[in-house]
C-alpha cells in the first residue's frame, strides 16, 4: 500500500463508546505501529441489556434492529434476545410485532441471534454465544450458530493504484 493511502479500520467492541478522541488515539497508535496512515471507526455494542420502557416496544425495536445490524457486521458477536414467546405467555400486540420483526432480520437468518422466553423483552450482545448471563442458551426459539472467529474487526484498505 502506498504510504500516502490511509487504511480505515472498523472495530466493534462491547461497552461504552470510545468517542472521536478514542478513535483518533487508536488510529494514531496503529498507524505508528504499522508505519502507515490509519483511521479507526469504532462501533460500541451494548454489554448490558437494552430493555423497553413501559409500552415502549416500538422505540426498543428501533434500537434492537440497529444492534442486530451491527452484530451481523462483526465476526464474533451474537445477539441474545428475550421476550414472551412461550405458549402460556400473553404478549401484547406490540411485543408480538417486535418478536416477529427481529425474527426477520439478517441476524436471525444467519444464526447470529437467539430468542429465549422471558416475561419482558430485552436484547444484549455477547461474544461467541449467549450464556445464562447474556440470555438463556439452548432454550426457547434458538437459531443455529455458525462458528465465529475473533477478533471482531475488519479493515477497509484503499484500492491498489
What is the tally of helices (H) and strands (E) in the chain? 4, 7
Q: How confident is the model at residue 40 (pLDDT cuts 50, 70, 90)?
A: very high
Together in a domain, 134 and 71: yes
pLDDT tens, residue by residue, 84-137: 999 899 999 999 999 999 999 999 999 999 999 999 999 999 999 998 755 443
Q: Alpha helix (H) ranges present in the chain?
A: 19-34, 57-73, 93-103, 106-109
Residue 23 lies in a domain: yes
Together in a domain, 111 and 70: yes
Together in a domain, 74 and 115: yes
Together in a domain, 68 and 124: yes
Together in a domain, 135 and 62: yes
Together in a domain, 71 and 14: no
For the whole prediction, is pTM greater than 0.95? no
Is the distance from CB of 135 to CB of 121 less than 8 angstroms?
no
Residue 17 lies in a domain: yes
- Please give the radius of gyration of the chain, using alpha carbons only, rounded to the nearest integer: 18
Residue 1 lies in a domain: no
Please count the structural domains in the chain. 2
**Domain membership of residue 30 as a residue range:** 7-45+149-156
Amino acid at each position: 500500500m502506498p504510504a500516502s493511502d490511509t487504511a480505515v479500520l472498523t472495530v466493534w467492541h462491547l461497552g461504552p463508546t470510545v468517542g472521536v478522541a478514542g478513535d483518533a488515539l487508536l488510529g494514531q497508535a496503529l498507524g505508528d505501529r504499522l508505519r502507515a496512515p490509519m483511521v479507526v471507526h469504532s462501533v460500541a455494542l451494548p454489554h448490558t441489556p437494552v430493555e423497553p420502557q413501559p409500552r415502549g416496544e416500538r422505540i426498543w425495536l428501533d434500537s434492537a434492529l440497529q444492534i442486530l445490524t451491527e452484530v451481523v457486521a462483526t465476526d464474533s458477536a451474537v445477539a441474545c434476545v428475550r421476550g414472551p414467546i412461550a405458549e402460556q405467555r400473553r404478549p401484547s400486540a406490540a411485543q408480538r410485532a417486535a418478536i416477529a420483526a427481529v425474527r426477520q432480520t439478517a441476524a436471525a437468518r444467519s444464526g447470529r441471534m437467539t430468542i429465549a422466553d422471558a416475561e419482558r423483552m430485552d436484547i444484549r450482545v455477547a461474544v461467541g454465544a449467549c450464556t445464562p448471563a447474556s440470555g438463556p442458551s439452548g432454550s426457547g426459539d434458538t437459531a443455529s450458530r455458525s462458528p465465529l472467529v475473533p477478533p471482531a474487526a475488519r479493515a477497509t484498505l484503499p484500492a491498489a493504484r
